[in-house]
Amino acid sequence: MARIAGYGGSVYIGSQLVEDCEDAWDEQAGTGVTATADTTDYKVGNASAKFVLTADALVAISASEVVSSMDLSSYAELLFWAKCSIALNAADFQLLLDNTALCASPENTLDIPALTAGIWKFCKVAGTFTAATAIISVGLKQAVDKGALSIWLDDIRAAKAIAGVKSWKVDYVFDVIETTGFDSGGARAYAPTLKGWSGSFEGYKDGAPLTIGSVVGLELQESSTATQQYRGSAIITGLHPSVSVDGLAVVSYDFQGTHGLEIPTA
């Protein structure tokens, strides 16, 4: 079994909201594409952005949405939720970021990871965002003809490493309830119910603190290897600054994960 050196770890926070996906993407819709807001199937907020593609949908931009101008040049990745009605390979669909309307000449074309049919996945796509200085349009592009399908997106956030962090931990637990009956033979019996995750990270103060109560995209890296990272949506629940006369200003945070946690596969 491989050993992982702790110095390769990091914490990435997706605090910059790019698109909340709370309403239908209406800047444009491609041939054979219907964009709606799905208020029954979502991960964050009250809705997700849903795109229904018929067999006539083109290998082209499926839809795009106007967003308030934002500078993403200092960020390193996007974190977001995605789901598809059929299985997708990596790069079958792409996210677009553009400084011009209608995603006419994207600054970034980012491959959406592989998706399992009918399962929400918390996705990470890394990129070089130095040209993304005034993003005003976000798009979804079908890069490979997949036939008729539906695809959902939710809570797209730009993320970057939090400077100064020196440690993190996560608690991933399964709740159980007692099911002991007369037929249990005198031994207590239990059944699993709900799973959840929470944790904390700490380090040296570097810039303004995170806002407690805020929903963020969170990536906890064991290393820079993509298979050695925990990812999910979380709420910052605690802020604990401290300072001593003979030391540096230190800050620690508590977080509560919400919905599923993407765990390492290696």
> Nearest Cα to 257, choosing from 234, 223, 239?
234
Give the model's pLDDT for residue 25.
98
Structure tokens at 5: 């050196």
Instruction: Please give the Cα distance from 86 to 212 (Å, whole number).
Output: 37
Instruction: Please give the Cα distance from 11 to 159 (Å, whole number).
Output: 10
> Nearest Cα to 201, choosing from 250, 261, 263?
250
> Nearest Cα to 22, choosing from 45, 56, 3, 52?
45
Residue 103 Rama label (left phi>0; alpha psi -120 to 50; beta): left
Give the model's pLDDT for residue 148.
98
Strand 108-111 relative to strand 149-161: parallel, antiparallel, unpaired? unpaired
Beta-carbon count within 10 A of 98 CB: 23
Structure tokens at 173: 């637990």
- Domains of the chain, earliest start first: 16-161 (2.60.120.260), 162-262 (2.40.30)
Sole residue written with tokens 């036939």? 147
Give the model's pLDDT for residue 31.
97
Give the model's pLDDT for residue 170.
98
In the predicted model, residues of the chain with pLDDT beneath 70 are 1
Instruction: Please give the Cα distance from 65 to 97 (Å, whole number).
Output: 10
Amino acid at 65: E
CB 26 within 8 A of CB 49: no
Give the model's pLDDT for residue 109.
98
In three-state secondary structure terms, 7 is helix
Q: 138-166 pLDDT, tens per residue? A: 999 999 999 999 999 999 999 999 999 99
Give the model's pLDDT for residue 216.
97
Give the model's pLDDT for residue 3.
86
> Nearest Cα to 260, choosing from 49, 113, 50, 43?
43
Q: 47-92 pLDDT, tens per residue? A: 999 999 999 999 999 999 999 999 999 999 999 999 999 999 999 9
Give the model's pLDDT for residue 141.
98
The DSSP bridge partners found for residue 217 are: 14, 233
The CA-based angle 50-212-164, given to 5 degrees, is 100
Structure tokens at 266: 């290696």
Question: In 85-226, at which residue ranges do the beta strands (DSSP E only) sit?
Answer: 93-98, 108-111, 121-126, 135-142, 149-161, 165-178, 190-204, 215-221
